[in-house]
Structure 1
Amino acid sequence: MNAARDAGESDATVLTGCTVVDARVLDGVAPLPDAAVWVRGDRIAAVGPAGEVLAEAGAAGEYRRVDLGGAYLTPGLVNMHTHLSLSLPGQGGDTVKGLNPHELAYYMADGARRTLLCGVTTVRCVAEKDHADFALRRAIASGQAIGPRIFTAGRALVSTGGHGHEGTDTLECDGADGFRRGVRSQVKAGADLIKVMISGGIAGQHEAIHTRQLFTDELTAVIETAHAWGRKVTAHAGPAPVIAEAVALGLDCVEHGYQLTPEVTAAMAAQGTALVPTLLVTRCKEFFDELGVPEWMQRRSLDAGPRHLDSYAMALAAGVEVLLGSDMPPFWTFEGTNASVRELEHMADSGLGPARALHAGTLGPVRWLGAEADLGTVELGKYADLVAMDADPLASASAFRGVRWVMSGGRVVRDDQTGWAAA
């Protein structure tokens, strides 16, 4: 992504033949047809009518011109529930668990590259094995690997025997002091946020979705310690009672929320607690079959689907901020597209609509991450993390199925017209 440019190649590019669209449409900023975007280095230097931008760029010196052929140009997607080292129960997961540290690094790097090429330019990792995510983040930032911008929680915190305890992507803790140490250990490693498992889930054979896994003093310790260090906290959580308690204590985000209630969603909206619903995880039999996921987990997942969708509807009705997150690997080919786009379609089609879905997949996550000064819109000064597609994303979230051009930090990493894709 950040590889050196060819000798003599300008670091300025003007993108033409496009309509610029981003989530500011919800604030009254209309799409800009016949637009041009001037990219200088890794950031956007100007956005506006093509003639004006071309004149401005020309006055500043040489540039390359890229005609996008009438495409819609948007910010890249942000996937807020990513596991590049995911290993579910079953044969596919066992293969990942069996990788040695060197093999795991290559496996995750390949997943990062594939994630970027499908148009996801930023991810939030919420439990990765062996702290390999930190090495991968450094490699991408230095240009040694190709992938999205990474915000990561490091290892997720769990109680002894809690959800996900079997893997090296979690850290078992007990008691308030133990969980305080857990938070600090992830911050020490370089975590941007903290992930904690506060209930059971789909993938734990000896638990139920509604199983409570932290006591109040432990949950308080996680949230207080993380906030003291300037880190937000997101929680794997299914049932309403434990979510209600966590929200009252200041929880910043809920993952999944399988069993919400109107009372809990109202509290989430009032507190400003976001929801990453991961609707895919209760409607992905094809994915489970591909990985050889056992029948007990498939049944638990698929049977939870109707209640999960009801919970999502309650969150929308209450005005909870919902954010894109697939849980499945972001790049995974699924139902004719990739997991990130399929999740966005579910969110849009289940009540969010395409304009708000664009916000949920771009600016909303960026604001939660505190990165809105650099990402999330097509504006002067932002990183040039951009994707182009032929269909209008304001007409349907399915437009993202047709992403055919991707730029990350001012570098084109995919261009279907020329057949170029970063390898």
Structure 2
Amino acid sequence: MAKAPTYLIHAARVIDGTGKAPMEKASVLISEGKIVYVGPKERAPAPEGVQIIDAPDLTVMPGLIDGHNGISGSLGAVKKLRCYVQYGITTAISFHGNRQGNPTLPTRDMIERGELRGCAQLVVGHAVNCTHGHNKGRLADGPWEVRKAVREMLEQGAEFIKTAASGGFWYENESMSSPNYTQEEMNALVDETHAWGKIVGVHVHTQPGLDRAIKAGADIIYHGCQIDAAAVEKMVEKGIWYIPTLKVTHPRNIAAWVDRPWMRAEMEACTDVHREGVKLAVKLGGKVAMGSDGPGTRYTWLYGENSVFEVAELVNCGMTPLQAICASTLQTAKAYRIDHRVGSLEAGKQADILCVQGNPLEDIEQLQDQNRVSLVFLKGKVEYAGNAYRDYFSIRDEDEIKPL
């Protein structure tokens, strides 16, 4: 892979993703794909050969990380991941790693090697599910078969395991309260996954699945569209991450499913209670991260739009814009244990960076305006450029001779 250029960005402000106050008139130095310096413009080093980007109209922040996506390894995934980047999403977490016929790991690896340019990086999990369960991945019933399934999925390269403790909206022959794994099976799945040093994310909307996942020691709870206050309090007490995917129960999303009336009925019943649960989690200081359940239906969402809409939904549930940006960057990275390399603008981390016109701290919905996205860096390379910054992007694919 060709060496990444050295850039020095002089910006209107820098949001580093850690929760610290934004730095006005600040600079970011990128070299060899890593962040070297973040701080005041007047102290910024300028190495020989550096490309200086004067950006007095831009806010610089970490690339967004979407923590819940159903992206498989099909060719169509490439377009989706390119569109994600054009909205500033630099990492997408996918639970469709073992989707039948479309394994996602080869796509992840091609992006990692630089063979698929302009695509959001993937973190890939595999699903383990019971018979007649919500997830459709590796079928396993009973605690010992569940343990075997987890081992198989991790051997194949899964970076995390996803499972279900309740039904969902998608299938006509299920409901939110449909049972999935028993407590015994859930305990086995979480215990086995943790034994191999990996994390478990659990799809669950309502009781008794919520308590089963919490009691088993799940690392992440997805959705919780009918979550109760007692479950929120237990999650906060145990430090379990909550990725609520608020977009799912938003009226705009519900209205798109005209051909699935059973979905609409259950989603509509969840809109208010879902948001009350998230508001409580925020109020209690719970560990809330961002995931959009993307890519979403094409009847209402552009690829990538889900993610930035979800950031604004977190603000609507009580976060400040700064908290929502942190939840959508470093906090999601922490939830998936990738914060050592991405999620914040700190020296030594991978240079995945979003540069937008304006100030999203004043109006978080600015992130939903794709026309404001001016530069997106992946591993220190400009993989998208718009507005007055288009010249920083080259469509030419770089190649090099490998040494003998």
**1:337 offset after TM fit, Å?**
8.0
**1:286 offset after TM fit, Å?**
5.3
Match of residue 16 from structure 1: 10
Matched, 1:199 2:166: yes
Matched, 1:224 2:218: no
**1:359 offset after TM fit, Å?**
1.3
Matched, 1:306 2:272: yes
Which one of 337, 354, 359 corresponds to residue 392 of structure 1?
Answer: 359
CA distance in 2, matches of 1:158, 1:422: 44
Q: Secondary structure at the match of 2:96?
A: coil
Which one of 399, 415, 418 corresponds to residue 385 of structure 2?
Answer: 415
Change (3 A) 1:288 1:391: same
Alignment of 1:57-206 (within 5 A): 57-58=46-47, 61-85=48-72, 105-128=74-97, 129-130=99-100, 132-146=103-117, 147-154=119-126, 156-165=127-136, 170-206=137-173
CA distance in 2, matches of 1:123, 1:191: 14
Letter in 2 for 1:396: D
Change (3 A) 1:324 1:286: closer
Letter in 1 for 2:22: P
Q: Secondary structure at the match of 2:46?
A: helix
Q: Secondary structure at the match of 1:153?
A: strand
**1:326 offset after TM fit, Å?**
0.5
Match of residue 51 from structure 1: 42
Q: Extract unaligned runs of 5+ from structure 1.
A: 86-103
CA distance in 2, matches of 1:350, 1:326: 15
Letter in 2 for 1:279: L
CA distance in 1, matches of 2:312, 2:88: 15
Q: Secondary structure at the match of 1:132?
A: coil
Change (3 A) 1:211 1:306: same
Whether the aligned pair in 2 keeps the contact of 1:127 and 1:153 (CA below 8 Å) is: yes
Change (3 A) 1:72 1:224: same
Letter in 1 for 2:14: V
Change (3 A) 1:120 1:422: farther
CA deviations on 1:148-189 (whole Å, 9 max, x unpaired) are 2221112x1111111143xxxx22211111111111111011
**1:413 offset after TM fit, Å?**
1.2
Q: Secondary structure at the match of 1:195?
A: strand
Change (3 A) 1:354 1:111: same
Letter in 1 for 2:383: V
Matched, 1:328 2:322: no
Whether the aligned pair in 2 keeps the contact of 1:247 and 1:268 (CA below 8 Å) is: yes
CA deviations on 1:354-400 (whole Å, 9 max, x unpaired) are 12101110110111222222212111111110111122232232232
Letter in 2 for 1:212: P
Match of residue 401 from structure 2: none
Which one of 349, 352, 362 corresponds to residue 329 of structure 2?
Answer: 362
Q: Secondary structure at the match of 2:187?
A: helix
Whether the aligned pair in 1 keeps the contact of 2:351 and 2:380 (CA below 8 Å) is: yes
Change (3 A) 1:325 1:294: same
Q: Secondary structure at the match of 1:359?
A: helix
Match of residue 406 from structure 1: 376
Deviates more, 1:13-22 or 1:76-85: 13-22
Which one of 10, 18, 21 corresponds to residue 30 of structure 1?
Answer: 21
Percent identity of paired positions between Structure 1 and Structure 2: 25
Letter in 2 for 1:144: E
TM-score (ref. length: structure 1): 0.85
CA deviations on 1:288-316 (whole Å, 9 max, x unpaired) are 63x76422222222332222222222322
Matched, 1:266 2:233: yes
Q: Secondary structure at the match of 2:76?
A: helix
**1:287 offset after TM fit, Å?**
7.3
CA distance in 2, matches of 1:379, 1:222: 35
For this pair of structures, how many residues does the alignment match?
A: 386
CA distance in 2, matches of 1:410, 1:337: 21
Q: Extract unaligned runs of 5+ from structure 2.
A: 396-404
CA distance in 1, matches of 2:303, 2:83: 16
Deviates more, 1:308-317 or 1:118-127: 308-317
Whether the aligned pair in 1 keeps the contact of 2:37 and 2:346 (CA below 8 Å) is: yes
CA distance in 2, matches of 1:409, 1:269: 34
Q: Secondary structure at the match of 1:34?
A: strand
CA RMSD of aligned residues (A): 2.3
Q: Secondary structure at the match of 1:240?
A: coil
Deviates more, 1:219-228 or 1:108-117: 108-117
Whether the aligned pair in 1 keeps the contact of 2:248 and 2:254 (CA below 8 Å) is: no
CA distance in 2, matches of 1:233, 1:20: 33
